[in-house]
Structure 1
């Protein structure tokens, strides 16, 4: 689903992280659906596991998010994606989960544009 990334970040700040929890759950479900892995850990379960393990599961989640993000890029874009699992894991270790969510939302938005026929590449002249 297409979302405005800036608004998602603003809502996360305004609601003191409550919207970020919602975004985490929805983004996890969405990437599972878009990578054709709907039976993998749902967003709600991933959030509960992160709470129960005091955040340790979130590092595994970030690693898998990077892996699925690469799968998404390889499916919808014309180039092979490099391995971004380490990037997602490092951002998670540094406490920047919101940046991970913003990065994966950017990929969702690009994939949505491609599916709708609105994406013409990064360097195409809009005229």
Structure 2
């Protein structure tokens, strides 16, 4: 018999977000030469996408919900792991002017700092 599993919307969105992030971060590596002229593998020395020369640190991906916008200046995003709120981040509203309260977003943190925020669904 068919055993139909039901997943919560947040679980599905979180999984999709993780797949997209893994795909996007793997693209530069997949197209690059794995070694240098000396035969050394220098993939561990990759720089961050910002091009600032610093090595990219540990990244984490979360599904987040915009909780509130404070004084039109700061956006408070609650980070979730499954159905549980695990943390919050505050970013400048001018850096992410497209965000509105109750938006569901994918948040990528690198070494605990916000690296990228992407909307996950259309506003209703």
TM range (shorter): under 0.3
Structure ranking higher on relative contact order (CA contacts 8 Å, 6+ apart): 1
Q: Give the number of the structure whose residues are more often strand, by fraction.
A: 2
**TM-score for the superposition, normalised by structure 2:** 0.27
Q: Give the number of the structure whose residues are more often helix, by fraction.
A: 1
